[in-house]
Amino acid sequence: MAIQKLICVATMGLLILFAGCSQQEPLTAPEPAATGAEKDGSETLGTPSIAISAGSGFVEGGVGMIDVPSGQIDLEVPAGVAIEQVLLYWAGGTTGAPGDDTIEIDGTSVQGTLIGGPIFFFKVSGVSYEFSAYRADITDLNLVQSGANSLTVSGFDFDTSAGTLDENNGCSVVVITDNNQASDLILKDGLDMAYFGFEPTLDATVPQVFALTPANVDRTGDLLLVAASVGEERPNSIRVTTSLGDQFFDNTLGSNDGLTWDSLVLPVTIPAGDTSVTVQLISTNSQDPHGASLGWVAAGVALAEPVAAMGELGGTVFVDANADGTQGSTEGGIANVVLDITDSQGQTVTVVTDENGDYAFNGPVGSYTVALNPAAHPEGFNGDLEVSFTATTLLVQNVSLPVSGIDFGFVPAVESILNDLEMGELISEGEDLRYWRRVFRRAVREEWACRRAHGHRGHGHHGHHGGRGHFGHNRGWGHGENYPNAVELRALLATIEGLYLPEPYQFSEDRQLIEVFRILKGRTRTDEAALYRELLVTELNFVSGAGLVEEADRLGVLISWGESVVATGDVGKTANKDRASDVFNALRVFSAINTGGGGGVDE
């Protein structure tokens, strides 16, 4: 059982008691304490002489070593954090001999570096007691792992044979961890001794200032402390100073790890905007009970940078068929468009629209610029937008997260497309209306002949296969024996039904061929009806692998535009043929694509 350590010191004629002495009763002939001159202002904590790893937090464990041959340090490293560095600190007092710079940790001999002392702190019966502190980097020993750890300390011997006190104060392991969150982590060490009743400068520790990266919100950081010589129930205080003033942790130290040894991590509040925090250990001016004597070995602050509030930014790049700047229910999205999103610091990221034309970005709440540059990003659809489409919305938009509906609309540049088809900049290998009319007439006739021959109305799967056996553009279709059969045509039509909009092309089961043939063979009296037919021809070319050469994506967007125009029109009534109308412009484009660029509308 540990014996309460007391020492009797006369200061200014006052009888005082403080921890650090192995006598149970006060001595009758105390000696004067050290003077300020002997301290000489050099006794303080400072920047370690070794490199300290970056990290985000501390884990500590300690053990007092007075009157014990060995001790156990218990500590737990949280799961999911990286162990960046493991430091071993120990301290004690001697009666003239050097301090103990070599101890054992889990049976391994470890030699430390002297980081403070020897400091003459007091005399008892004419015998001077000098204190020293040591540090060793034991990271490479791999003694500390994630989870619970227990380490045995032994071989601890600060020689006090010339006196009567055991001053093997204690030992701590300090682990620097990292959870991948940007943080300030500062560590200072050394040895700063203090007792309130001594002459300056041994009456107080030197306040330690830790420089911090300011933030715009209040934060809670971790304050690491390692201290020796504080006895049980000896008044003490930890003063933490920020812009809000002083915060005190009273009597937090007090042999928590065993007699005369403390290591701990405290939460401290750092106000918004603060660039530093100041910490000081205080020996409280108290006579009953007597204020603590203490030896400050190490201190550290770990403070995470604030996690910014996050928000989402999103919108759609779409075919604006009616050029009103707003996406309607029949206006489809444009895939593979690259947008640039720039924050207030000038950092830019790119996002790409998905198959529905949607894009999304998640980032810290703040101001952003969203830009769609058709002349940039050749890997995307941007280049097609530049040459064949006209924007109907602003291409640069300033926003604040979170926000949605940041949309970009485009309508086909009809004259540019027609000119490119005419000049050969766009090449079409699409078949015209007459070709597809002939193909479906032949398929319908053969299917009916097959049904009559078999005496039933089957599904028409016995049509002539024409020697193809696969889809894909082939100008031999419809000539001689090489043309698509009924099975292949139904497959093409099924693909068309699922292209973009549920309308305009949906066909009755087992009547697909005759319904399409009737669309293709009938005369049209309105632009709407003509567009309805010509767009179907374009889609037949598209799903069979024909149309614009090496421009399937562009043709797909044009078809999406055509479906939107058809879906908002009325194909069953007569209308004026307004050549400036969206319907007539769409009719011109798809007629030109279907005839290889020559234009004109087949009747």
**Predicted confidence (pLDDT) per residue in 31-68, tens digit:** 444 443 344 446 899 999 999 999 999 999 999 999 99
Q: Is pLDDT above 70 for 551?
A: yes
Please choose, from the candidates 59, 93, 71, 103, the residue with its C-alpha nearest in 3D space to the C-alpha of residue 2: 71
Distance set, CA 304 to CA 60, 270, 280 (Å): 18, 11, 22
Whole-number pLDDT of residue 454? 67
Q: Is pLDDT above 50 for 167?
A: yes
Given a contact cutoff of 8 angstroms between Cβ atoms, the answer to whether 518 and 511 are in contact is no
Distance set, CA 43 to CA 119, 203, 314, 494, 534 (Å): 8, 12, 59, 87, 93
Question: Dihedral of the CA atoms 93, 97, 99, 103 (nearest 10)?
Answer: -110
Domains along the sequence of the chain with CATH: 30-304 (no CATH), 310-412 (2.60.40.10), 433-594 (no CATH)
Distance of CA 467 to the CA centre of its chain: 57
Across the range 356-371, mean pLDDT stands at: 96
Whole-number pLDDT of residue 466? 37
Q: Is pLDDT above 60 for 459?
A: no
Whole-number pLDDT of residue 308? 78
Whole-number pLDDT of residue 467? 33
Whole-number pLDDT of residue 35? 42
Whole-number pLDDT of residue 456? 52
Whole-number pLDDT of residue 165? 86
Rounded Cα distance, 450 and 460, in Å: 7
Whole-number pLDDT of residue 444? 92
pLDDT in tens, 236-276: 999 999 999 999 999 999 999 999 999 999 999 999 999 99
Distance set, CA 110 to CA 100, 105, 145, 405, 540 (Å): 11, 7, 19, 64, 82
Across the range 310-328, mean pLDDT stands at: 95
Q: Is pLDDT above 50 for 377?
A: yes
Given a contact cutoff of 8 angstroms between Cβ atoms, the answer to whether 375 and 382 are in contact is yes
Q: Is pLDDT above 70 for 313?
A: yes
What pTM value is reported for the model? 0.59
Percent of the chain residues past pLDDT 70, beyond the cut: 85
Rounded Cα distance, 454 and 433, in Å: 32
Whole-number pLDDT of residue 328? 94
- Of 134-138, 195-199, 396-400, 571-575, the range with the lowest mean pLDDT is 571-575
Which of the pair, 340 or 547, is modelled with greater confidence?
340
Whole-number pLDDT of residue 201? 83
N-term to C-term CA, the chain: 110
- Of 4-13, 184-193, 402-411, the range with the lowest mean pLDDT is 4-13
Given a contact cutoff of 8 angstroms between Cβ atoms, the answer to whether 392 and 320 are in contact is yes
Please choose, from the candidates 89, 176, 106, the residue with its C-alpha nearest in 3D space to the C-alpha of residue 141: 106
Given a contact cutoff of 8 angstroms between Cβ atoms, the answer to whether 511 and 567 are in contact is no
Strands (E), 142-292: 147-154, 170-178, 183-195, 208-211, 219-228, 236-242, 245-250, 261-270, 276-283
Q: Is pLDDT above 50 for 19?
A: no
Whole-number pLDDT of residue 462? 40
Which of the pair, 369 or 602, is modelled with greater confidence?
369
Residues 6+ apart with CB under 8 A from 580: none
**Count of CB atoms within 10 A of residue 346's CB?**
7
Rounded Cα distance, 74 and 602, in Å: 89
Whole-number pLDDT of residue 97? 81
